[in-house]
Chains A and B, each alone.
Chain A
Amino acid sequence: MNQFGVMLKKEWRENLRNYKLFWIPAVFILLGIMEPVSNYFLPQILDSVGNLPEGTVLEFPVPEPELVMAAIMGQYQLLGLLIFTLAYMGTIAGERKSGTATLLYARPLSFRAYFMSKWVMAQVIALLSVWLGFLAGYYYTYLLFGSIDFMNLMRFGLTYSL
């Protein structure tokens, strides 16, 4: 196995054993589900906890399913990126600071293999999280707002992934 493969295996084990492989996708799935659900129940939510004056009448147009999916991506752009940044910031600096990197640096390990393994693993988890969240969001959007052309949805997802 080449150095990149060895380091990628190490990253895989790390993300598996510190549960990042589970909790990051779980948060993205939650964000994906929350968008259609909160949109659907918005009138009831406002009615019960909105603290609106007596007799207020609000007309909410039912959003198009496509707009709900776009809003999910909006959430990912803001909260998703924040979660991802917090989860992976200081990955290399942390290993240097804790001294765990010393035993790696004392070997003929290329920085490229070291860095790329971390970057590729982070990208894999990012894509996995986005797609799982996206599909979960699509399912709830389909249930609550109606169907979307699946091919269009795939194109949208692929473009976002790029």
Chain B
Amino acid sequence: MRMRTPLLAGTAVLATLGLAACGSGSGSGGSDDGTIVWDMWSGSQSDTDALNETLAIVKKENPDVDVRLQTAPWNDYFTKLTTNLSSGNLACITSMNGQRLSTYADAFEPLTDADLEAAGLSKDDFAPGALDIMTYDGKLLGVPYDVATMLVYYNKDLIDAAGAPEPATGWSFDDFEATAKGATTDANAGFAVGLGEFQWMALPIAQSGKQPVSEDGALALTDPAFVDASEWYAGLVTDQKVALPAASASDTGWGENQYSGGNAAMAVDGTWNAATYLANDAGFEAGMVELPTGENGSTSLVLGSGYGIAKGCEDKEAALQVLGSLVGKDAQDAMATSGRSYPARAESQPLYFESLDASVRDDVKAAFDAAFADVEGQRSTQNWDQVNTALQPNLVSVYNGQAEMADVLGQTQQQFGQ
């Protein structure tokens, strides 16, 4: 019996040592053996196949560097990133979504003009505003590979059947309301409200001309113009009754699903889903148009994703070369031609439309041109992701008429504003 206590303690100590060894075993950057790891999200085999095509281009352009691709599904990607960060084990080339950059800003090595030059890149290569996607707090933390903005998608069949006016380029908020009202019938709603961050915020931002983050990077959910526009937005459900209240706070894609299921005539979503909606499973004819214009113009934000170099990457020179190839002309052309994403590199953008069916090509191009014509960079705070997580379940109460939009914004501002 007397033996047991010291032995148990000894075992525990040994186990702890083992754990500690695990923690410090592999060096940061994951490039001990001269390999550059490229960490990227991928939801399916076809995504991974496409990434492997890009990888082949990168390898061809950099025969002397050993590059390895590592993927995880979208949601797991960020959980895994958090874990890798806390153990100081980040991949040299880490992919990042612009909306989440603020949360992970500390993880990235700021890129200077000299760095870009070493990568064979120039700021002029990219579409206007594209570099803002990977900029936080005045520092360029990565290079974008795609650009996106929010569009209003509409169901031509429902709108025609109801005899409502079809949305057209240059439309106003009055036109938007007219279409939403006209397309609302007993069987379907004219519009579907969103729960995701820009799926709902895009219209209030466009109408008020105000982002919910001030220019100096402070949370500004209670800006009077933004609050008014948000109340108008919630009123589409509660007052004008042209949209249905969300059914549950766990339906994060509520508005988008209502639209793609043919239950709503219009919804707001990003340009990244254009190809998906054009080939929707429900079989309706989809159209798209830029956000409507109001008294304050039509402020829309440029969104997107890019690749950054992790702090502590051991072979920055090689990583820069790989980075240059990942957003180089060949890789961007290949991505655009496949229709997967709208590329960030300006000269590759026209190829995206060529991948689309000829019958919709001109309409999509017109909508994209109008939507990207006057975009501004998205500002965010360090806890932007948390702000949206906290807002989402409260929006459900707002849409169901059990809370006021102004109160919800006020409480969230109070909780995250300091």
Q: Do A and B come from one complex?
A: no
By a beta-carbon cutoff of 8 Å, the part of chain B in contact with chain A is none
Measured CB to CB, the residues of A under 8 A from B are none
